[in-house]
Homo-oligomer: A and B are copies of this chain.
Amino acid sequence: MSEPFTVRQIAEWVGGRAVGDAGVTLRGVASIGDAGPEDVTFAADAKRAAGLRESRAGAAIVAEPLDAAAMPLVQVDDVQAAVAEVLRRLAPPETLPPAGIDPTASVAEDADVAADAIVGPGVVVAPGATIGAGAVLMARAVVGARAVIGPESRLDAGAVVRHGCVIGTRVRIGSNSVIGSEGYGYYVADRAPRRVPHAGNVEIDDDVEIGACSCVDRAKFGSTRIGAGTKVDNLVQIAHNVQIGRGCLLTAQVGIAGSARLGDGVVAGGSSGVRDNIALGDGVRLAAFCAVAADVPDGQVVSGIPAIDARDHRRIVAAWNKLPELVKRVRQLETKLNARDFSEDG
């Protein structure tokens, strides 16, 4: 798929040290188990490096020198960063539409679109919207009235940023995601649910990335906020008035309910959830499939439904797995004690 490259080139790309035959030619990147003679593989630590002996890979990127390895190596300080750099070189250049407004796009007369922005086929930009310098709106993206897309930000095909939302710089919003959907708020009058109007918006800070088919609801008042550098996966729900800190990682199918507040560097495992109005401190980690129903202090790791400290949870699950046996042991104790009662009574 991509041009062949040598071990020497890898070393140059990543600022590493080539060990062994630096002229070996490669064509791709693959995991230790899948790699063939034309792939470079990688081992981030000594444990994984042990697997290199049985790998068919043509070369490997490693953190420490491995004298016994049967293949050329590129030694680096940060294996993950080096692999990312190689992938950057190998990724086929994406074909973007040309800068300017595609003739099939529909752009309001009073929208402010930077001259070098890309407005792709079928894109809709509503009145009063602003599209920053170098921004990219892929096919059929929609930008609502008075919304702002910051410089170098990108909406993938079908993404929707609704009216009044403000997107920072270098933000990426995946295909068919929706920013600024109505918050889910109802009150009951005459025994029927009535909509609470949502007068607020969504503000997304610089370098945030959001995957595909995710939703961020607009605030009831003020803003739903996502802090700089936070990365959100696919099919994630972020409700009205949620406040998310910087550098958080929210993986697929996570749900954050209304007005919850996440500190910086929070990591939420797949399908985990946070109840409304809950506060998570900095560096909190949620195990996959956990449901947080109470505040969590800085740095705590939680697990379970409802979520508790992960170490406690591990102990409880271990005991839970032996529950039928425990029931049996209690029955034996009862039998024993009753028998004794009987014998003593007799």
Binding site for B on A (CB under 8 A): 2, 28-31, 34, 78, 80-81, 83-84, 87-88, 90-92, 94-95, 102, 104, 106, 120-122, 124, 126-128, 139-140, 142, 144-146, 156-158, 160, 162-164, 172, 174-178, 181-182, 184, 186-187, 189, 191-199, 207, 209, 211-215, 217, 220-222, 229, 231, 233-235, 237, 239, 247, 249, 251-253, 255, 257, 259, 270-271, 273, 275, 288-289, 291, 293, 305-306, 308, 312, 315-324, 326-327, 329-330, 333-334, 336-337
Contacts and interface: CB of A to CB of B under 8 A. Distances in A.
Contacts of A316: 320-321, 323-324
Contacts of A127: 95
A188 B210 CA distance: 17
B178 A178 contact: no
A47 to B, nearest CB: 14
Given A178-B213, A182-B174, A237 B253 contact: yes
Contacts of A163: 92, 94-95
30 contacts: A2-B199, A28-B221, A28-B222, A30-B221, A81-B187, A81-B189, A83-B196, A87-B196, A90-B199, A106-B139, A156-B162, A160-B175, A178-B212, A182-B211, A193-B249, A215-B252, A237-B270, A253-B255, A255-B271, A270-B273, A275-B288, A289-B291, A318-B324, A319-B323, A319-B326, A320-B323, A322-B327, A329-B330, A329-B334, A330-B333
A161 B191 CA distance: 29
A218 to B, nearest CB: 10
A305 B305 contact: yes
B337 A337 contact: yes
A33 to B, nearest CB: 10
A90 B259 CA distance: 20
A211 B184 contact: yes
A252 B259 contact: no
Contacts of A81: 187, 189, 194
A253 B106 CA distance: 33
B95 A146 contact: yes
Given A178-B176, A233-B184, A330-B333, A142 B124 contact: no
The CB with the most chain B CB atoms within 10 A, among A175, A198, A237, A288, is that of: A175
Contact of A140 (B124, B164, B175): B124
